[in-house]
Amino acid sequence: MSSSTLTQAIVSATQKYTISVYFVVLIGGVIGNLFNIAIFSSLKVFRRNQCAFYLIFGSIADLLLLIIVLPFRVTQFVFGYDPTLLSLAWCKIRYAVVSSLSLSSFTAVCFTAIDQYLSTHYITRIRQLSSLKLAHRLVCIAIITWSLHSIPFFIFFEIQSTLGCDIYNLGFSRYYSFVHFCVLSGILPITTSGCCA
């Protein structure tokens, strides 16, 4: 077997595997998040529970993220067609929406962990901080914050012939790499969830 046929076989196997995994994640994720939303919003025991409210918020963000991102990844991988390279509007919208939804999902996990900490605290005054009213306010603040946070994505993502849809502003590129990924999507959710567990 020559090296070129071996390479083609590996590429073909990788494509089939990746497509299969994408479909499993898409179908499983959509079904799982729909079940989460249905169960946490319909059962009477969860209706007045702030932790369930945070989980509904996180499930909605995850569901939208799956529906928006994965179908386009599949078309890009299977057909070699990337809409972000053809439409400047889609290039900007996709990354802004993905940023906002992924950070909303992480925020829901952090809020859930903080709520569990507050609701199980031995001091009564701190336990009383855990309320559905506070949960509604925090989710509204998170939606507004992450929506405002996504505005620079509309400004700084561009399409260029060399790299396609990407950030071409050095300052925002550094922010995106270090603050957005390392801190907001990495260190902050992990430490918040870990400290409150």
Predicted confidence at residue 181, as pLDDT, reads 86
**DSSP sequence for 21-63:** HHHHHHHHHHHHHHHHHHHHHHSHHHHT-HHHHHHHHHHHHHH
Q: What pTM, to 2 d.p., does this model score?
A: 0.87
pLDDT score at 1: 57
Provide the CATH number for the domain around residue 142: 1.20.1070.10
- Our CA angle for 70, 192, 146, nearest 5°, is 50
pLDDT in tens, 125-179: 888 888 889 999 999 999 999 999 999 999 998 887 777 788 888 899 899 989 9
Rounded to whole angstroms, how far apart are CA atoms 20 and 155? 35
Token pair belonging to 22: 């994408």
Evaluated on CA atoms 183, 185, 187, 193, the torsion sign reads positive
Domain count across the chain:
1
Band of the pLDDT at 197, cuts 50, 70, 90? Answer: low
| Mean model confidence pLDDT for the chain | 87
Q: Is the pLDDT of residue 87 over 90?
A: no
33: containing domain: 3-196
What the block records as the tokens of 129 is 């901080």
How far apart CA 70 and CA 80 sit, in angstroms, is: 14
| Rounded Cα–Cα distance for residues 29 and 64 (Å) | 10
Helix locations, 120-187, DSSP H: 124-127, 132-149, 151-156, 170-174
Nearest to 91 by CA among 187, 141, 159, 163: 159
Position 7 scores a pLDDT of 82
